[in-house]
Chains A and B, each alone.
Chain A
């Protein structure tokens, strides 16, 4: 189990340009597999354009209490990139002006940002339709100061989206670290106690599943019913929906693929499963991702690869919706992860 980020380990793959080079060379460089651009062209979907701005996704920092082996953010306790209150204020101003329906806070562990609670309180005043916080669950138990998070989320009617790779201990702990499963279960029970995931409360609790290895996720609705049955029977836990997300070859998951000699086979699996219908629902078409320092990206993955939006407006400070709506979405071979099979996004499948 990794205990440090790629950055702290001074691993080459902590550099976005090295990752992009890797994703463009080898099997894609020698023509063995078509590039993502070629696949889009072949299916009349190039260039990829935004359809509107529905989701404003804000990454409030890369610091996290966990060091998951698959993390595309390369998050961990050693990451110091944290969004300031000033940048948060810029986010709020832009969110108001943009008319986006969903605010989606992510990290790292967003709760570790010292201004997280202030941000949630202020953002709740704007009154977006759906206010999401992506919580890794264990943070709720990591320190006494986080124990009241379920009550806090409830107060602001936050929609909690939590990662739980599997409904059994082994696979979860292997991917996320020893003890993560037990703590996650306890945190889910705490969320249930205040009404999250319970019928009639309106408090939404969704789970995110991602495969513990170099293979694609199973059918989302089958997984959802397996999770529901097992979590209810074994731990009396309720939740609303399950999102099945494909692991993208970025950052620590890319490192894992290379180290385990699965990279080529995995990419081939993604390319073979390329589904043009899934392209039509990819999240970069209706999302903007904001980094801790206020830059704009097509998605959280492009953020980690430092691929800023291809528009005049690259930072919150010079936000211009019209120029952003006319941009071409930046793509590379990692995008195959979102278009495989039934597709993948932060809201689960796209088909």
Chain B
């Protein structure tokens, strides 16, 4: 039995999800491909967004995939790390901004 939840080899099998639900799988991959095409944003910018989101959703497959994608696009490690800090700032900010809710509640309940 597999002893870990994640196996790097599974990333290559991603396409197999279509086998159990053909129509939805195909629609998803068509959409996915379209999303990453050059548009108002460059493919390079989209790759950095993907990398930041990959860290936010903590997906090891996506982190591997978009780190390699970034290197191949000539994205530098400093740019990658800056993108991660954007993700971290939003994540941290999302916790802290709820502090206002906490403060409101404390003030409401306190005499």
Contact = CB atoms under 8 A, between A and B. Distances in A.
Interface of A: 168, 211, 213, 215-219, 222-223, 226
B72 interface: yes
A148 to B, nearest CB: 34
Contacts of B85: none
B96 interface: no
Nearest to B42: A222
Contact of B72 (A168, A216, A226): A216
B39 interface: no
Contacts of A223: 74
B74 A215 contact: no
A343 to B, nearest CB: 15
Nearest to B68: A215
A203 to B, nearest CB: 27
Contacts of A217: 72
Interface string B23-34: 000000000000
9 contacts: A168-B76, A211-B71, A211-B72, A213-B71, A216-B72, A218-B73, A218-B74, A222-B73, A226-B74
Contacts of A218: 72-74
Nearest to B70: A215
Interface string B71-82: 111101000000
Nearest to B8: A265
Which one of B71, B73, B74, B76 has the greatest number of beta carbons of chain A within 10 Å? Answer: B74
A226 B42 CA distance: 14
Contacts of A168: 76
Contacts of B73: 218-219, 222
Nearest to A212: B71
Nearest to B75: A218
A218 B70 CA distance: 9
B25 to A, nearest CB: 20
A285 B102 CA distance: 72
A218 B76 CA distance: 12
A217 B71 CA distance: 8
A219 B76 CA distance: 15
Given A211-B71, A222-B73, A222-B74, 14 more contacts: A168-B76, A211-B72, A213-B71, A215-B68, A215-B71, A215-B72, A216-B72, A217-B72, A218-B72, A218-B73, A218-B74, A219-B73, A223-B74, A226-B74
Contacts of A213: 71
A80 B82 CA distance: 47
A222 B74 CA distance: 9
A211 B73 CA distance: 10
A111 B60 CA distance: 48
A226 B74 CA distance: 9
A218 B74 CA distance: 6
Contacts of A215: 68, 71-72
B65 to A, nearest CB: 12
A216 to B, nearest CB: 5
Interface in B52-111: 68, 71-74, 76
B44 to A, nearest CB: 8
Nearest to A227: B74
A217 B74 CA distance: 8
A217 B69 CA distance: 10
Contacts of A216: 72
B81 to A, nearest CB: 14
B42 to A, nearest CB: 9
A181 to B, nearest CB: 15
A343 B14 CA distance: 26
